[in-house]
Structure 1
Amino acid sequence: MSVEACPCGSGRSLSDCCARWHGGLPAPSAEALMRSRYSAFVLGLESYLRATWHISTRPQSLSLPDAQKWLGLSIKRHETVGDAAQVEFVARFRVGGGSAQRQHERSRFVREPDGRWYYVDGEML
């Protein structure tokens, strides 16, 4: 029996990594939430992406492109100050049969009084 690796690149199994947060447990850090959101993009979990998007910036709807294939995630740096955090990452993807592309972003997160981290927005680098 093979164990499915987590798409976030942590080196752990999906069940021991991001699946816990996808199942409803709060991510313990902004970095863990970032990784789980990347995994949600890979797995097509639109409801999780919306649920972890801060209400102040959450889009009304979200549609993930069927032709987009995620190829990997690299966390460049992360910083937490109180209830705010930033995570800089590079995500690689391919659309259709095209060449691989990179999304280099600095994402902002906030921890609400309920203890949960939420994605606020991101700046493309």
Structure 2
Amino acid sequence: MASDSPPPTAEEIAYYDCLKKQGVAIVYTDYGAPRVDKSKPANDEAHKTCAPMLPPPPKPQPATPAQIAAAQKESACLRAEGISWYPDPDPVTAQIDDRRGTPEQWNALKRDHLDALKKCRPER
């Protein structure tokens, strides 16, 4: 599967290598980018230890009005389907802040609410 995401930077690789050395489980996306395995328990100490290595986040790109409207509709739909904690999208970028909601909630969303996701995200 192709991705629009750029390859991981040297700083990102160093950060995730640091986390791995601290015992954090790392998984790799289809395009080779390292990510924390969110199905495993969080390790706050490792993140504190490695935080100085974390590159600054890229500046978010503003979304189009249509993208913002679609993201708002999706959030409202998911809440109407019983996922009451699902956050509203950012009003500028249309991104969902995955820090809102627990890892358990995000895992349950993908595991237990596939019908709601299909209904609310028909284009995906």
TM-score by length of 1: 0.22
Going by fraction, where is strand more abundant, 1 or 2?
A: 1
State the structure with more CA Rg.
Answer: 2
Higher relative contact order (CA 8 A, sep 6+): 1
Going by fraction, where is helix more abundant, 1 or 2?
A: 2
TM-score by length of 2: 0.22
